[in-house]
Structure 1
């Protein structure tokens, strides 16, 4: 299976930017944000009353990026079923949301608890199994 990339931007780490990518099949969306100090990845349910943000993953701290002076390509890609989304930076997966399981995974594992009671009952640590499940059988 393939990843359907819905957004791609060249970014400079530490330069504020927002990259948005909606699921091609439904009400879900994902947003990458670099606020100048930190990179985050957000899971959004656009049908949710009030705040659509369901979960947030820490991607990086700008001060800890060694090659931050080089441009990077940020991509948001969705699974074929439109229920899983991955954040790729220079084609390497850094964060993943599974909307069906309501679970987020990131390589930094920094934010251990989801801001939503309905999401990420387990910690946000990375799982290669989650990435494998992204592609299905």
Structure 2
């Protein structure tokens, strides 16, 4: 089985507009981290869908509440070996996971509510999600 790998890495300043995109190495799934200047979100997309490819969105932070926002941060996007799970790390700390295979997103804030057209699960964080990347 192929190992999980970092496929994208970018240094950002929290609260400054940034977009970090990363396609799955194996299929049409894609994740996007976006800081719009006020909030940080992690989006799961299926690029095979026409119109709106966004499956779900995970809230990562409100910039005004990040204590070290004045320091550069490193955003990393990890994909599992099968290309069906993606992990968002900021400064080596796990913030969110998309499990496209099981139609589930995990984030520390458990916000917003999941899009029920895609997932029947909440966004509640579970450390077990990190086991998807062993």
Which TM-score bucket, shorter chain as reference? over 0.9
Q: Which runs of 4+ in 1 moved over 2 A?
A: none
Tell me the residue number matched to 1:22: 23
Tell me the residue number matched to 1:129: 128
1:60 deviates by 0.2
Determine the C-alpha separation between the residues in 2 that align with 1:4 and 1:84: 11
Q: Is the 8 A contact 2:106 2:125 kept in 1?
A: yes
For structure 2, the 5+ residue unaligned runs are none
TM-score w.r.t. structure 2 length? 0.94
Determine the C-alpha separation between the residues in 2 that align with 1:113 and 1:28: 18
1:2 deviates by 4.1
Q: What SS does the corresponding residue of 1:63 show, helix, strand or coil?
A: helix
1:49 deviates by 2.0
Determine the C-alpha separation between the residues in 2 that align with 1:54 and 1:107: 19
Instruction: Give per-residue Cα distances to partners, 1:20-41, cap 9 Å, x unaligned.
Output: 0110001111000000000000
How is 1:1-137 mapped onto 2 (pairs within 5 angstroms)?
2-114=3-115, 117-119=117-119, 121-135=120-134
1:50 deviates by 1.4
For structure 1, the 5+ residue unaligned runs are none
Q: What SS does the corresponding residue of 2:132 show, helix, strand or coil?
A: helix
1:132 deviates by 1.2
How well do the aligned residues superpose, as a CA RMSD in angstroms?
Answer: 1.2
> Between Structure 1 and Structure 2, how many residues are aligned?
133
